[in-house]
């Protein structure tokens, strides 16, 4: 339970929150992203959101300079003719970029976030939670993953991509806040804090974590009920062996974790060079960092 204990003790130990850049592919006004932003901020982190002005799901790693908007942002969250980038004037850490997720992440890292931090760079990048899962082949097309991969590969910032199986797009001001949005925010913050508590460097170079939450339904409606499973993205029939864990040198796939039922969350160590599974030596680093919170499938 070391990771959970460290996370719980962060305030007592006087540990400072870190600088986090956040993006997604469902749009800056999507509730899942806003719930996560609020949870990270409540945990003491200094978060800046830089996300697409509208839903850009499936954009993969497209990166195009933003153009001026002629129509309102999603959910009427910005007016027409607002320019290529903008922000919430009353909450200026909430920003939109009229382009793709990778572009939004790039602008967030290079242009939008540094002024809030006296020119300093983000220490960690998070993307999502995505509305819907990003498993196996979907990883290659996911804008949520694309944004995290840009941070890890191009900006050399450790990155986590989160996705939740409970679907249904929701506006940022939906009230009351649905349980699924709250639970996903809590889970994503728990893992983010565990990675931070493990110490720098938070992740190996050119690595991102692809994290998939199951549906928030039935017995899986409380964040404390969920269990974390180390997994791999692709099937790996012809791949080198994985890190040895749970008595095997082949980790379960994300899909098999999702198919197992129960409240299992898959955590895959992704290679930012090709969006497939990272090699065993990098998996081993993540395993050492998170081992105390991981479980094995039955």
* pLDDT tens digits for range 22-38: 999 999 999 999 999 99
pTM of the model: 0.94
Tens of pLDDT, residue by residue over 217-259, are 999 999 999 999 999 999 988 889 999 999 999 999 999 999 9
Q: What is the DSSP-derived secondary structure letter of residue 142?
A: -
Q: In CATH, what number does 2-293 get?
A: 3.40.1210.10
Q: Average pLDDT of 40-47?
A: 98
Residue-range domain boundaries for the chain: 2-293
Residue 19: is its pLDDT beyond 60?
Answer: yes
Mean pLDDT for the chain overall: 94
Q: Which percentage of the chain shows pLDDT scores above 70?
A: 95
Compute the distance between CA of residue 194 and CA of residue 39 in angstroms, rounded to an integer: 14
How distant is the alpha carbon of residue 288 from its chain centre? 20
**Residue 16 — pLDDT band, cuts 50, 70, 90?**
low
Q: Which residues of 175-211 are buried (b: 16+ CB within 10 A; e: fewer)?
A: eeebebbbbbbbbbbbbbbbbbbbeeebbbeebbbbb
Tens of pLDDT, residue by residue over 72-84, are 999 999 999 999 9
The length of the chain in residues reads 298
Compute the distance between CA of residue 130 and CA of residue 123 in angstroms, rounded to an integer: 21
Residue 14: is its pLDDT beyond 50?
Answer: no
CA dihedral for 139, 143, 144, 150, sign (positive or negative): positive
**Residues 75/171, Cβ–Cβ less than 8 Å:** yes
Tens of pLDDT, residue by residue over 159-190, are 999 999 999 999 999 999 999 999 999 999 99
Peptide bond into 40 cis (omega under 30): no
Tens of pLDDT, residue by residue over 194-214, are 999 999 999 999 999 999 999
Q: Give the other-Cβ count within 10 Å of 297's Cβ.
A: 14
Q: Average pLDDT of 142-151?
A: 98
The pLDDT assigned to 11 comes to 43
63, 94, 142 from 149: Cα distances, Å: 12, 21, 10
Dig out the tokens for 257 from the structure: 């974790």
CA dihedral of residues 101, 227, 268, 252 (deg, nearest 10): -140
Q: What is the DSSP-derived secondary structure letter of residue 253?
A: B
**Residues 42/28, Cβ–Cβ less than 8 Å:** no
The pLDDT assigned to 236 comes to 86
Q: Average pLDDT of 40-57?
A: 98
Tens of pLDDT, residue by residue over 1-13, are 333 444 444 443 3
Among candidates 224, 112, 215, which has minimal Cα distance to 168?
A: 215
**Residues 161/209, Cβ–Cβ less than 8 Å:** yes
Q: What is the DSSP-derived secondary structure letter of residue 278?
A: P
Residue 272: is its pLDDT beyond 90?
Answer: yes
């Amino acid at each position: 339970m070391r990771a959970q204990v460290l996370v719980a003790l962060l305030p007592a130990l006087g540990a400072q929150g870190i600088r986090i850049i956040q993006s997604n592919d469902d749009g800056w006004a999507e509730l899942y992203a806003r719930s996560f932003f609020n949870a990270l901020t409540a945990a003491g982190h200094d978060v800046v959101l830089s996300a697409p002005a509208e839903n850009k799901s499936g954009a993969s790693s497209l990166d195009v300079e933003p153009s001026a908007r002629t129509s309102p942002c999603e959910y009427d969250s910005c007016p027409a003719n607002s320019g290529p980038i903008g922000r919430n004037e009353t909450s200026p850490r909430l920003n939109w970029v009229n382009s793709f997720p990778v572009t939004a992440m790039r602008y967030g890292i290079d242009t939008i976030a540094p002024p809030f931090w006296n020119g300093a760079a983000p220490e960690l990048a998070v993307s999502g939670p995505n509305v819907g899962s990003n498993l196996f082949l979907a990883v290659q097309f996911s804008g949520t993953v694309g944004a995290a991969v840009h941070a890890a590969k191009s900006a050399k910032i450790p990155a986590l991509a989160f996705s939740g199986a409970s679907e249904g797009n929701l506006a940022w001001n939906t009230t009351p806040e649905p349980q699924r949005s709250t639970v996903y925010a809590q889970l994503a913050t728990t893992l983010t804090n565990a990675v931070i508590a493990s110490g720098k460097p938070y992740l190996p170079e050119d690595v991102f974590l692809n994290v998939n939450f199951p549906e928030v339904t039935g017995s899986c409606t409380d964040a404390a009920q969920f269990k974390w499973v180390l997994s791999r993205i692709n099937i790996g029939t012809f791949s080198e062996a994985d890190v040895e864990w749970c008595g095997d040198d082949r980790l379960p796939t994300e899909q098999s974790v999702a198919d197992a039922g129960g409240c299992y969350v898959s955590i895959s160590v992704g290679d930012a060079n090709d969006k497939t599974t990272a090699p065993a030596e990098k998996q081993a680093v993540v395993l050492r960092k998170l081992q105390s919170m991981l479980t094995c499938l039955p």
